[in-house]
Amino acid sequence: MATFRSSDPWPYGARLKEMLAALLEAAGKTGRPYAIGGAVAMAAAGYKRHTDDVDVFILNKDRLVWMQTLREIGLKVDPVFMGHHYTAWHPKGDVRIDVLIPDEAFEVSAIKHPEMARLGDLSFHAFGPVTLAAMKFIASENVPSYLQDVYAMLERGLFDRGLVRQIIAKIEPDALGRYDRLIMKRR
């Protein structure tokens, strides 16, 4: 179910658009699955917040081909957490691509079955709003600012609370009480 809205014109600066375009070039060359997450995916869903990076999620089995391809298109690639998180960047730029390799089956499934999104004139694979809300809510236990993203998406009607609850029940049942208290009862 496509729940993305088109954002026209491009909602961020030129450098971020260039990095997303570079990522899409690499995606075309690798032919491997990916999904954009984070602020760029939220903007495509209808909630724009500041960002200076593009978060892309890839499969572990494709990590080496992605790293090689990003280098081939002229980006520097550095590990942040070897095997799980890398940054790709252009030496003359102030934005980056965060390349994330998840371990969780839910996130891996979302990479294999992304939704199509669009920002300005760029179309790409992304985590849908329900997936974003579930992932951000679960992660908000450790990164409190993610809860503000969930609230902002909720206030804009970008996801169904019940669908997010179903996902949380499957992947992080211990978070259900917190979800019910903070999201389901929120007006």
What tokens does 66 get? Answer: 């992605």
Asked whether 98 and 84 are in contact (CB, 8 A), the reply is no
- Using left for φ > 0, alpha for ψ between -120 and 50, and beta otherwise, residue 12 falls in beta
pLDDT for res 55:
97
Cβ pair 55, 125 in contact under 8 A: no
- Residue-wise pLDDT tens for the chain (187 aa)? 345 555 668 899 999 999 999 999 999 999 999 999 999 999 999 999 999 999 999 999 999 999 999 999 999 999 999 889 999 998 888 899 999 999 888 899 999 999 999 999 999 999 999 999 999 999 999 999 999 999 999 999 999 999 999 999 999 999 999 999 999 998 8
pTM of the model: 0.92
Nearest-angstrom CA–CA distance, 6 and 78: 32
pLDDT of residue 104: 87
User: If you write DSSP's letter for every residue of 96-133 in order, what string do you get?
Assistant: EEEEE---SHHHHHHHHSPEEEEETTEEEEE--HHHHH
Q: Which fold has domain 8-127?
A: Beta Polymerase; domain 2 (3.30.460)
Contact predicate 158/70, CB 8 Å:
no
Consecutive H or E run containing 30 = helix 14-30
DSSP for 137-186 reads: HHHTTT-THHHHHHHHHHHTT-S-HHHHHHHHHHH-GGGHHHHIIIIIT-
